[in-house]
Amino acid sequence: MATLHSSRSIEGSRLIIAAVGILALLIIPGPVVANSVGFSTGDSLVFSYERYTTYATPNGNQTFISMNQFTVFINSINTTAKGGGVVGYSETIQEFNNSAVTNSTAYENFTTIFDPYDNSSYLGNIGFYPFTYTDLTAGSVGNLGINVTTSGIPVGNGSESVSSIQRVNVTVARGPGLIYVNLTTIGYTGEHPSQWAMQFNSTTGVLEYGKTTVNLISDIEGIYTYHLLSYIHQSPPAYQAYIPYIIVGAIVVVIVVSALAGRKSERQKKTAHFREKLS
């Protein structure tokens, strides 16, 4: 019986030590978790989008400038999704092809959180890269294979989409308040390189400026420019910062209570010892 009591006491002590260890792991700073974002569910972003296209015709070069404006509302965020982080969003249009839109229907979809080192994150649904990770590291990588589709290429009286396998060279740099991402893409033989220059806010991970120069065919050039016009950030309630501590604290309490419950009081020990003598 003494051995049993001793084992229970040791087990209880180990449980308490484990509980304290769990609490220490939360309190003591550890390594920064990758794929952090600064934007939140409920945020809204207003972008302007200029599409400048020059193309050759039998009557000489023609230039088309299209001004657009739209709002992106963040419905959900999942930074641990399989295959990379995603953002659920709603999009409404205020201006399209130089004309005001008064009754835009919200379009909902999911798009990737852009990581220039991960080729799967290039295939977002929104058509550009409004979101990236705030802990994106400076560096470079070459020869990433991306299947790129560019829409709105003028052909005759209309337009079409053109797909090609692009080889992407990437450079990421960090400066005061900004993350700079520059891409050079080269597709089929003879195609001029396309240039992408983006500036993200290093605190929020939101795109502030983006410019893409695309040369799909020798006589067609497109320059697409994005500007962040406004950003309304919904800060999470202050209590949310303490939720992890509350959860771990509850676990610690359960472990300690369980450990103490396994111990017998002095009166219980004496009673058990007396019964052992009588048996």
Q: Which residues of the chain have pLDDT under 50?
A: 2-5, 8, 15-16, 18-20, 22-34, 238-243, 245
In the chain, the amino acid numbered 261 is A
pLDDT of residue 81: 83
In the chain, the amino acid numbered 32 is V
* Closest alpha carbon to 120 in 91, 89, 81, 90: 81
Q: Rg for the chain (alpha carbons), in Å?
A: 29
Task: Output DSSP code: residue 136.
Answer: P
Instruction: Compute the distance between CA of residue 119 and CA of residue 84 in angstroms, rounded to an integer.
Output: 10
pLDDT of residue 231: 97
Sole residue written with tokens 């993350």 = 179
Instruction: Compute the distance between CA of residue 93 and CA of residue 140 in angstroms, rounded to an integer.
Output: 35
Q: Which tokens hold the place of 267?
A: 């009166």
pLDDT of residue 242: 47
Q: Strand pairing partners for 52?
A: 65, 223
Burial class (CB within 10 angstroms; exposed 0-12, middle 13-18, buried 19+) of 110: middle
- Contacts by residues 93-98 (CB-CB < 8 Å, ≥ 24 positions apart): 93/68, 93/69, 94/46, 94/69, 94/70, 95/67, 95/68, 95/69, 95/70, 96/68, 97/66, 97/67, 97/68, 98/65, 98/66, 98/67
Sole residue written with tokens 């051995």 = 3
Task: Output DSSP code: residue 111.
Answer: E
* Closest alpha carbon to 35 in 73, 81, 89: 81
Task: Output DSSP code: residue 132.
Answer: B
Contacts of 95 (CB under 8 A, 6+ apart): 67, 68, 69, 70, 101
Do 122 and 135 contact (CB within 8 A), yes or no? no
pLDDT digits (tens, 9 = 90+) for 127-150: 899 999 999 999 999 888 877 666
pLDDT of residue 239: 45
Q: What are φ and ψ of residue 115, in 5° steps?
A: -125, 105
Beta strand pairing status for 139-155 and 178-186?
unpaired
Q: Which tokens hold the place of 76?
A: 């959900």
